[in-house]
C-alpha cells in the first residue's frame, strides 16, 4: 500500500497508472541472434516508466590457471550493469543481480563451471551520511501524600506520579552499500561446487542519492575442459518509486516481460567491448591479462563502479 510519503515523492504516479499500462508491459529483453551466437554483448535492456536497467558483457578472457601441465581451464568474465533514473525522486533505491553459470548440454551437473572468485566479494561502502539520533529512557516514580486523620493512623490525600526522562544524543552513519557473494544455485542441484553469484546494491536512504549508475563486476570461473560451451543466465531485479514497483511487478506477472536468452560462452573465443564509458573506467577494462596465469588478483583491476558516490576503501571481504 502506498504511504503519503510515497505519493508525495512520486509526482508521476497517477498519470503513469492511467497512461503507461499498455506501452510499458512489453519489456525490452535480449535474445541471441541465432542458436549459435556466442558471447552476446548486450545481455539485458529493460525500461519501465523511465527507469533503465541494462546488463552487458564487457570482456571475456579464456585461459588457464598456470602454464604448467595440468593447469586448470579458466575463464574471466567481466559484466557491466547500468541503473539510470530521471532524478532523485524517480531513481533506483535497491537492485539485486543473480548470475548462474551452467554447462550448455548438461546443466545442473558437475560439468557446470565453478565460480572461484568474484569482485566485489563482501560488503562495500559506497558513501556515508551522518545522522543525529536521540535515545530516550522514560520511567515513573509514585507515592502517597496526605495528612493524618486523628489517631487512627489513616491518611487523607492523593497518589502522585512523577515522570523522569533521560536523553542521550549520538551520531550514527547511513551508507550506500554494494554486496557480492558466491553461491550455489539450488534450482537444478543442491550439491557440488558454487556456480552462481549475487550482487546487491542499496542506496543511502537518508541522502537519497540512488544506487550507482554503473557497476562492472568480474567473475573467475574454472571449467572442466576447453571443449564444452557453457552459459550464463543474468537476472536483474530493482526497486524504485511506488509506480515503478507496481508496473514492473504487473508486467512480470503478466508475462509481458520475457526472460532473456542465456549468454553462450565458447572457450578460446576472446572478447573485449569497445570504449563507450568514462576514460578512467575504460582504462581498467583494457589492462593486460596473462591468459596463462589467470588468478584472483586480476579481478579488481578490471572492475569498478561509477556514480554520485565513490567506493570506500573500507571493505570487509568474505
Reported as a pLDDT band with limits 50, 70 and 90, residue 205 is: confident
- CA distance linking residue 148 with residue 156, whole number of Å: 7
Residue range 40-56: mean pLDDT, rounded? 84
**138 vs 7, more confident:** 138
Q: What is the pLDDT of residue 107?
A: 92
**Sequence-ordered list of residues with C-beta below 8 angstroms from that of 285, at least 6 positions apart, any chain:** 58, 59, 78, 216, 272, 273, 275, 302
**pLDDT (tens digit per residue) in 59-112:** 999 999 987 777 899 999 999 999 887 666 677 888 899 999 999 999 999 999
- CA distance linking residue 51 with residue 83, whole number of Å: 8
**179 vs 138, more confident:** 179
Cell of 228: 564444452
**pLDDT (tens digit per residue) in 63-73:** 999 877 778 99
Residue range 191-195: mean pLDDT, rounded? 95
**pLDDT (tens digit per residue) in 284-301:** 898 999 999 999 998 988
Which residues are 62's β-sheet partners? 75
CA dist list (Å): 265 to 176, 249, 270, 272, 293: 33, 31, 10, 13, 20
- CA distance linking residue 211 with residue 229, whole number of Å: 34
Q: What is the dihedral of CA 2, 4, 5, 6, to 10 degrees?
A: 30
**pLDDT (tens digit per residue) in 119-141:** 999 998 876 555 454 555 555 55
**What is the percent of the chain where pLDDT is above 90?**
38
Q: What is the pLDDT of residue 113?
A: 97
Residue range 261-265: mean pLDDT, rounded? 95
Residue range 180-194: mean pLDDT, rounded? 94
- CA distance linking residue 95 with residue 84, whole number of Å: 12
Q: What is the pLDDT of residue 79?
A: 96
- CA distance linking residue 111 with residue 105, whole number of Å: 9
Q: What is the pLDDT of residue 14?
A: 30
Widest distance between CA atoms in the chain: 108
Residue found under cell 558513501: 127
Peptide bond into 151 cis (omega under 30): no
Reported as a pLDDT band with limits 50, 70 and 90, residue 253 is: very low
Give one DSSP letter per residue of the chain, joined into a string. ---HHHHHH-TTHHHHHHHSTTTTSS--B---SSTT--S-SEEEEEEETTEEEEEEEEEEEEEES-SSTTPPEEEEEEEEEEEE-SSSSS---EEEEEEEEEESSSTTSTTSPEEEEEES-EEEEEEEEEEEEEEEEEEEEEEEEEEE-TTS--EEEEEEEEEEEEEEEEEEEEEEEEEEEEE--TTT-SSSS--EEEEEEE--TTTT--S-SEEEEEEEEE-S-SS--EEEEEEEEEE-SHHHHHHHHHHHHTT-SPPPPPEEE-TT--EEPPP-S-HHHHHHHT----TTS--GGGHHHH-EEESSS---S-EE--
pLDDT beyond 70 at 178:
yes
- CA distance linking residue 254 with residue 7, whole number of Å: 25
- CA distance linking residue 46 with residue 30, whole number of Å: 9
**Sequence-ordered list of residues with C-beta below 8 angstroms from that of 210, at least 6 positions apart, any chain:** 83, 85, 88, 91, 92, 93, 203, 307, 308
Cell of 22: 499498455
Tell me, yes or no, if the pTM score tops 0.85.
Answer: no
Amino acid at each position: 500500500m502506498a504511504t503519503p510519503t510515497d505519493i508525495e515523492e512520486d509526482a508521476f504516479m497517477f498519470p503513469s497508472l492511467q497512461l503507461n499500462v499498455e506501452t510499458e508491459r512489453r519489456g525490452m529483453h535480449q535474445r541471441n541472434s541465432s542458436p549459435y551466437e556466442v558471447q552476446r554483448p548486450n545481455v539485458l535492456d529493460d525500461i519501465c516508466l523511465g527507469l533503465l536497467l541494462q546488463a552487458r558483457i564487457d570482456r571475456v578472457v579464456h585461459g588457464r590457471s598456470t602454464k604448467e601441465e595440468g593447469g586448470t581451464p579458466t575463464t574471466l568474465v567481466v559484466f557491466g550493469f547500468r541503473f539510470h533514473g530521471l532524478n532523485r525522486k524517480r531513481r533506483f533505491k535497491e537492485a539485486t543481480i543473480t548470475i548462474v553459470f551452467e554447462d550448455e548440454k548438461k546443466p545442473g551437473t558437475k560439468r557446470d563451471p565453478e565460480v572461484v572468485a568474484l569482485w566485489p566479494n563482501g560488503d562495500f561502502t559506497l558513501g556515508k551520511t551522518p545522522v543525529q539520533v536521540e535515545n530516550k529512557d522514560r520511567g515513573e516514580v509514585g507515592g502517597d501524600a496526605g495528612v493524618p486523620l486523628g489517631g487512627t493512623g489513616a491518611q487523607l490525600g492523593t497518589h502522585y506520579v512523577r515522570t523522569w526522562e533521560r536523553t542521550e544524543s549520538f551520531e550514527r552513519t547511513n551508507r550506500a552499500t554494494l554486496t557480492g557473494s558466491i553461491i550455489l544455485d539450488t534450482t537444478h542441484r543442491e550439491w557440488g561446487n558454487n556456480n552462481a553469484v549475487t550482487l546487491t546494491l542499496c542506496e543511502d536512504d537518508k541522502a537519497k542519492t540512488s544506487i550507482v549508475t554503473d557497476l562492472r563486476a568480474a567473475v573467475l570461473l574454472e571449467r572442466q575442459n576447453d571443449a564444452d560451451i557453457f552459459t550464463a543466465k543474468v537476472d536483474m531485479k530493482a526497486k524504485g518509486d511506488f509506480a515503478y514497483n507496481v508496473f514492473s511487478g504487473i508486467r512480470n506477472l503478466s508475462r509481458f516481460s520475457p526472460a532473456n536468452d542465456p549468454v553462450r560462452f565458447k572457450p578460446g573465443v576472446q572478447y573485449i567491448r569497445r570504449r563507450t564509458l568514462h576514460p578512467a573506467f575504460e582504462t581498467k577494462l583494457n589492462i593486460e591479462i596473462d591468459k596463462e596465469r589467470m588468478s584472483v588478483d586480476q579481478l579488481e583491476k578490471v572492475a569498478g563502479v561509477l556514480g554520485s558516490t565513490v567506493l570506500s576503501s573500507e571493505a570487509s571481504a568474505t
